[in-house]
Structure 1
């Protein structure tokens, strides 16, 4: 049975059983404590936590998931994947243990003709929590399982929680016996390779407390939940390899074709007895699929967060291909194969393929350049080791190559072997562990319990806040709730900052990149300034206000008013963002998709997928297209429809955003700009006013940012630039049009003067070098020059001067130590010539005699060392110490 069919049967089964089919949420997690969606229940977490009321009593989904905690084990074993699909069914206070068990057993064991998976009931085992007598009884009554195929396990295996205070409960796992060829008898407690877990049923019934840190089951059970819930997870990929009769997930229909393509490119065979080659084949299959799914959901390669994970996945795939002997780019081939395999379930991968492929191919090109630059650094390090007759590359060097150049350790190992070197792997792994420990500590610091949103939920249960701001700037409303730090209060008085919830509001809550509205709320007995407006659960609008007069009480009638000037600027900026986005796609192509934005009155910023800086000509063209759209007075139309209708119109959805069943579509100039958007907009493009591009920059690999001033702010900027040009022209006594030529002439003169000055400085330093070299003294057969450089010698010139003096000492062994005292620092340089090196002298070692006396830091190699201290008064003592160290070393 093909994987797509497994998905379809699961959803059909539960839809027939009265479940609402919920599409997969984005892989970009809405939970700030994790980067990616890591479980099928993640989109439903607010319902389980009681933060919001579920819109349906039961649901089902097949959720895209990515877990990267075991990324280093991917490929090494056949059990680990980064991307996987978790099918689940969920009940929110509806059915409980009996219903969950019946639904699962029916689907697994029903015949193919009846829509089931046709698994042999006699090969199914289950585990239950050690004290869950009810679950064991239900398995016997509903499924007819004999007692010997029901095993009890402790909290570590069969009790579920989110890892923080919140809902928890026992679970029951379903296993399939693959047969004696896969391991020993005895059920899941004896061998989880033979007995493969396919489905986990979580009976969410209790609330847990804070952990005391001693172990997995170290938290108290505070009591039962207000309602009992069901959360289940069936591993689609695991079930696929069972139903397809193969040994593991890498042999299934959605991964084996990727491996086959790499067999053709590399000329090597998967499963041919070369374990390392098999590992690389599996890494390529897993990571290329995960990479495509992440790019499809809007992640772009970067140096931190989600972007770093994606970069690592793509680069590990490219690296593995190179280690298989493939030298040509592989991402275009891999992405096309993954598209064909996954698009039957995720059609957006096909429609958005051009952008996805470009992001992956661009990252591959960047990595190949990294390999080239990393190879140069490796060659320098290897050559330095050779001069020192050392055959082990330090772990710190391997870590630097990995951390700063993205250079994989296995490539370092391979190149080291080719150079006749070994690598201090233990040292490398120690530094990697320290880095991971720091990251883990940071993640732990950010992770905590969930905020108490029960009061917000109570308010939301009274109904969503009605937003009236699309059609009016003033709305009469009733105060539904007053909260101080999330706790309800009956009244609030002048000077207090509180959260205020109305039944209706014209004030826009920050979302979709648009900043929240400014305004006021006025009642019969008080007035307040609106500081911020936010949404809870996308439906409840919460106003952060400062009471400026009188008092507010719950239930009072008020008038909520938007600052009209603020709203005008906000509308201009948000519509301007859409115009700039459309202009980008017109100038650069459809792959220049927005991946984030922010706008407020007078200002907009837009991030978009692109792999190179925009030239001055391109920026001018972008600005021209945007302002022509403004001048054409294009109509701005707002429509409402289903997501399918919006997609048929070509509407662009923002990555990471969540949309309701009915979406709002903003159209500017017909099909020229069509986006899903809940923001406030102008009615005609001419109302946007001028658009002035103010900046363009990189915000990560494959991601650029443009910033622009809009409306009156753009006009002010243009006026400021005009004033600046006028002032420059007046100062230089030329017409504005003549400024470029005049400035170029002045720059040429400045360069000539700087060149002449550099020549004079070099000549002066040369004279000083001759004088210093002539004053060399003999110390144990070594010519020593140890002196203070002339006053005014810059730290940057000190190294040049020391090298020049060293060169003037001739063939005799020589050491030069120069100091350049300043008010609070002592730059220094120590140089040793070839004769001195032959005598066993090293600049870096001699510098160590100087550093303690001047309380400095520094170091270097055999021929040159440099640094700086903080005690200029102790230079004479430092010179004496250097002379003593030289006597010892040379003697």
Structure 2
């Protein structure tokens, strides 16, 4: 048997099923589309759900894919074993009501034995206990002896996911030989050891589960198969694990080269090597699909993977940034199947470098906080860090719990792991309760789910703002309807529409729909599965019925303003690339009639000079009155022409390319001005950070800019009137007032200090001596904490060596201060502990360092008691 490489096997699989009439589709993004039930795509069938449910009509009834997938359910085991990983590629062939069991089983056998060349005598299928049909196909059509076909129960050979489509499955196992076995008597298919490896799973979707355990036959039966590409490579290349197949081994070796270690010589080292190898694959593919490291959702999954990899790099002794170098190996090994990796290479490297730098800061910050927690443990005389503190380090500061454990164990401390797990479970429970109840696609069920999937809408709004079409579907807010009456809210669907639906960041059109019998006001236009355009709004008068002929009129004013803002975002993106660099990538946008918002990848706040450069550049291209043209072309031709594509977006074979002179060229389905001069003006209103490595610009165009300047002019006039000066003198007047205020504040602080000192009188005669240490504990009237600190410094200087305790009440709030000199600390005096006890007397709390601490309280009447207790506390500390 030839030992094909990973890239060969991927190509062979897709070509084989193309020869069987399948449409080979490119891998979908790891980011689920219109599916809230998943954080990340985790199987080959997940992106195809709409085709299985009938919500969308598939491009062909036979489809094959190699889908990139991520599963993090076993993340804690990644690295510890050679079989666990978070990233994998899933080969699959799918039938939507076309072929069924006979073809699926026959083709899986043909591919494995005739195309790949696996030994037929080492292949063993399993079937569901009650699936005699599948058993007979394997036995009578493929020709396998009955004893080579294994019948398993529902847990192993029946696929279902709550309510919805489900069915039995047939898995194919490969006998890797005795060297991978457990050696136990009766070791066979289904054993937990590594000898019999499952390589293929054919799922026969033939039932519908109503959620109550009742199964009915589906009218349209489907095939959903899955075969892990890496698993197949393990079998074909006859290697120990997925970390030993050709492309992943090359990456693993790069890890070893950077770290200066050898794989297979030390268990702990191997754990780190495998973990880094796996996690950098996941991170590279996630970033290539536009996912950015954040503190929630899929962004948090990415951040966790990157930080775990960086942490294990430190364990291997790597002290410099290294993840981007490894990512380059991922790209070189996988770009044959995923060319977008090469296209987004620079951006991927930037994200990884930025996050790795950030993690180094996090590690250092976490070490400082952990050090303070250790001091607290020592002071309290305990050796166990509470689960709450360990979780705080993990959740708030991103500090890995295994690192916390390791550092503490070196100093003979431990973590309350049960308490940590409890805190973790409480967080998961909160997250689970926050999720909405959803349907099979993870979205809230709506009236639109009831519409026939064959209903679709043709968009004609590039050329028309008014169009006549036939009404195909009407809905109220809850039901399908034959007619909408005056006052009713609802949605109208037609065969052809000039209304643009919200997508690609551009907000949908508003306007009116008129028939001979009624007028409907369109408040928003939405796009639904299957290319349906829904006109959402309210009946203003009369009645509209299904099959009526309607005149659809888009609000010209709103559309033109939206187009100004949309075209400006194209100019803005190109200007940002010119000023900041090629790494700038669109991360999101919002285009409305009143403003535009543009989110982009960049790793620092823009300077005033950079913002000015970008704004000038955009306005130059507006004044240049560039022609805006549109071309329809193949996706590859569009990319070759230099058209910018939206990060992580999946495009069809034909795309729409919008060009603005020679300045900007982007793939875009939105509507635009005909000439950049129509935008009139462009003004940036704000620039801010919205996530790690993501900045946001908000801007205005055309009449919006003029209205903005009028508003600013009004505010300036109002400020001038309040300052009693001309608008041109406002800045000078404010500068003069600030200088005056600064002088007054300084005089005020000086007076407060004198008052505080006068209120003290001669306090030096109140010094006590406790076991040879001088103690000055006094109260003063109406002094805030800043004043107490100033007084404390003065009194400590006069005292020389010893302890100063001050208390004061101001506006009903108590302030306490403790200061302890070096010699007093050596005797055991500790300001932080001192203040903690005093604060409890006045009904408050606080703490601090050994030399200085402060606290607040609520009960001013107890200040004399606190002062009286100071000597007792000091004596207890030093004896």
Q: Does TM-score exceed 0.5, indicating one fold?
A: yes
Number of the residue aligned with 2:667: 676
Number of the residue aligned with 1:152: 151
Aligned mate of 1:829, from 808, 816, 820: 816
* CA distance in structure 1 between the aligned counterparts of 2:753 and 2:866, rounded to whole angstroms: 30
Q: Deviations over 1:416-445 (max 9, x none)?
A: 456x35242526733652365236524755
The answer as to 2:6 corresponding to 1:3 is yes
Aligned mate of 2:676, from 685, 688, 699: 685
Runs of 5+ unmatched residues, structure 1? 111-115, 211-218
The answer as to 2:118 corresponding to 1:122 is no
The answer as to 2:759 corresponding to 1:760 is no
Number of the residue aligned with 1:295: 287
Q: Deviations over 1:352-393 (max 9, x none)?
A: 212211121122222223233333334444455556666555
Shift of 1:801: 5.9
Number of the residue aligned with 2:584: 592
The answer as to 2:23 corresponding to 1:20 is yes
Q: Secondary structure at the match of 1:639?
A: strand
The answer as to 2:422 corresponding to 1:422 is no
Shift of 1:504: 2.0
Q: Secondary structure at the match of 1:561?
A: strand
Greater CA drift, 374-383 or 92-101 = 374-383
Greater CA drift, 348-357 or 280-289 = 348-357
Shift of 1:276: 1.0
Shift of 1:99: 1.4
Aligned mate of 1:478, from 444, 452, 470: 470
TM-score by length of 1: 0.90
* CA distance in structure 2 between the aligned counterparts of 1:529 and 1:827, rounded to whole angstroms: 62
* CA distance in structure 2 between the aligned counterparts of 1:192 and 1:454, rounded to whole angstroms: 47
Number of the residue aligned with 1:258: 251
Does the 8 Å contact 1:844/1:864 carry over to 2? no
When residues 702 and 772 of structure 1 are mapped into structure 2, their CA distance, relative to the original with a 3 A threshold, is farther
When residues 578 and 367 of structure 1 are mapped into structure 2, their CA distance, relative to the original with a 3 A threshold, is same
Aligned mate of 2:241, from 222, 229, 248: 248
Does the 8 Å contact 1:571/1:680 carry over to 2? yes
Number of matched residues? Answer: 865
Does the 8 Å contact 1:850/1:882 carry over to 2? no
Structure 1 segment 72-221 matched on structure 2, within 5 A: 72-110=76-114, 116-162=115-161, 164-184=162-182, 185-210=186-211, 219-221=212-214
Shift of 1:292: 1.0
Does the 8 Å contact 1:244/1:252 carry over to 2? yes
Does the 8 Å contact 1:611/1:701 carry over to 2? yes
Shift of 1:763: 3.8
Does the 8 Å contact 1:83/1:289 carry over to 2? yes
* CA distance in structure 2 between the aligned counterparts of 1:546 and 1:772, rounded to whole angstroms: 79
Does the 8 Å contact 1:850/1:878 carry over to 2? no
Shift of 1:208: 1.6
TM-score by length of 2: 0.91
Greater CA drift, 467-476 or 743-752 = 743-752
* CA distance in structure 2 between the aligned counterparts of 1:427 and 1:769, rounded to whole angstroms: 53
When residues 326 and 777 of structure 1 are mapped into structure 2, their CA distance, relative to the original with a 3 A threshold, is closer
Does the 8 Å contact 1:627/1:691 carry over to 2? yes
Does the 8 Å contact 2:71/2:87 carry over to 1? yes
* CA distance in structure 1 between the aligned counterparts of 2:797 and 2:433, rounded to whole angstroms: 51
Aligned mate of 1:44, from 36, 44, 48: 48
Does the 8 Å contact 1:602/1:711 carry over to 2? no
Does the 8 Å contact 1:837/1:862 carry over to 2? no
Shift of 1:156: 2.0
The answer as to 2:346 corresponding to 1:354 is yes
Greater CA drift, 466-475 or 627-636 = 466-475
Does the 8 Å contact 1:139/1:145 carry over to 2? yes
When residues 635 and 329 of structure 1 are mapped into structure 2, their CA distance, relative to the original with a 3 A threshold, is same
Greater CA drift, 880-889 or 140-149 = 880-889
The answer as to 2:813 corresponding to 1:820 is no
Number of the residue aligned with 2:707: 716
Does the 8 Å contact 2:331/2:341 carry over to 1? yes
Does the 8 Å contact 1:509/1:534 carry over to 2? yes
Shift of 1:606: 0.9
Does the 8 Å contact 2:437/2:444 carry over to 1? no
Does the 8 Å contact 1:839/1:890 carry over to 2? no
Q: Deviations over 1:299-319 (max 9, x none)?
A: 122222222221221222121
Does the 8 Å contact 2:57/2:454 carry over to 1? no
Q: Secondary structure at the match of 1:75?
A: coil
When residues 503 and 681 of structure 1 are mapped into structure 2, their CA distance, relative to the original with a 3 A threshold, is same
Q: Secondary structure at the match of 1:471?
A: coil
Shift of 1:395: 4.5
Structure 1 segment 443-458 matched on structure 2, within 5 A: 445=436, 448-450=439-441, 456=448
Structure 1 segment 354-433 matched on structure 2, within 5 A: 354-383=346-375, 393-416=385-408, 420-424=411-415, 426=417, 429-430=420-421, 433=424
Greater CA drift, 434-443 or 878-887 = 878-887
Q: Deviations over 1:623-646 (max 9, x none)?
A: 001111100001111111221121
* CA distance in structure 1 between the aligned counterparts of 2:485 and 2:687, rounded to whole angstroms: 46
Does the 8 Å contact 1:578/1:673 carry over to 2? yes
Number of the residue aligned with 2:861: 876
When residues 830 and 752 of structure 1 are mapped into structure 2, their CA distance, relative to the original with a 3 A threshold, is closer
Number of the residue aligned with 1:704: 695
Does the 8 Å contact 2:259/2:317 carry over to 1? yes
Structure 1 segment 396-545 matched on structure 2, within 5 A: 396-416=388-408, 420-424=411-415, 426=417, 429-430=420-421, 433-434=424-425, 436-438=427-429, 441-442=432-433, 445=436, 448-450=439-441, 456=448, 459=451, 461-537=453-529, 539-545=531-537
Q: Secondary structure at the match of 1:509?
A: coil
* CA distance in structure 1 between the aligned counterparts of 2:444 and 2:718, rounded to whole angstroms: 59
> RMSD in angstroms over aligned alpha carbons?
3.2
Number of the residue aligned with 1:284: 276
* CA distance in structure 1 between the aligned counterparts of 2:213 and 2:724, rounded to whole angstroms: 81
Q: Secondary structure at the match of 1:254?
A: helix
Shift of 1:143: 2.2
* CA distance in structure 2 between the aligned counterparts of 1:810 and 1:550, rounded to whole angstroms: 92
Q: Deviations over 1:527-572 (max 9, x none)?
A: 2221221111150011211122222222222222111111111111
Greater CA drift, 183-192 or 287-296 = 183-192
Q: Secondary structure at the match of 1:37?
A: coil
Runs of 5+ unmatched residues, structure 2? none
Structure 1 segment 321-336 matched on structure 2, within 5 A: 321-336=313-328
* CA distance in structure 1 between the aligned counterparts of 2:509 and 2:321, rounded to whole angstroms: 49
Aligned mate of 1:236, from 200, 216, 229: 229
Q: Secondary structure at the match of 2:7?
A: helix
Structure 1 segment 461-860 matched on structure 2, within 5 A: 461-537=453-529, 539-670=531-662, 672-725=663-716, 743-768=734-759, 785=777, 787=779, 790-791=781-782, 793-794=783-784, 815-822=805-812, 826-829=813-816, 831=818, 833=820, 847=836, 854=843
Q: Deviations over 1:455-474 (max 9, x none)?
A: 74775545421212111212
When residues 584 and 460 of structure 1 are mapped into structure 2, their CA distance, relative to the original with a 3 A threshold, is farther
* CA distance in structure 1 between the aligned counterparts of 2:718 and 2:804, rounded to whole angstroms: 58
* CA distance in structure 2 between the aligned counterparts of 1:786 and 1:477, rounded to whole angstroms: 88
Q: Deviations over 1:115-170 (max 9, x none)?
A: x11111111112222222221121112322222222222222222123x3211111
When residues 633 and 249 of structure 1 are mapped into structure 2, their CA distance, relative to the original with a 3 A threshold, is same
Does the 8 Å contact 1:830/1:843 carry over to 2? no
Does the 8 Å contact 1:786/1:817 carry over to 2? yes
* CA distance in structure 1 between the aligned counterparts of 2:394 and 2:225, rounded to whole angstroms: 40
Q: Secondary structure at the match of 2:69?
A: strand
The answer as to 2:69 corresponding to 1:65 is yes
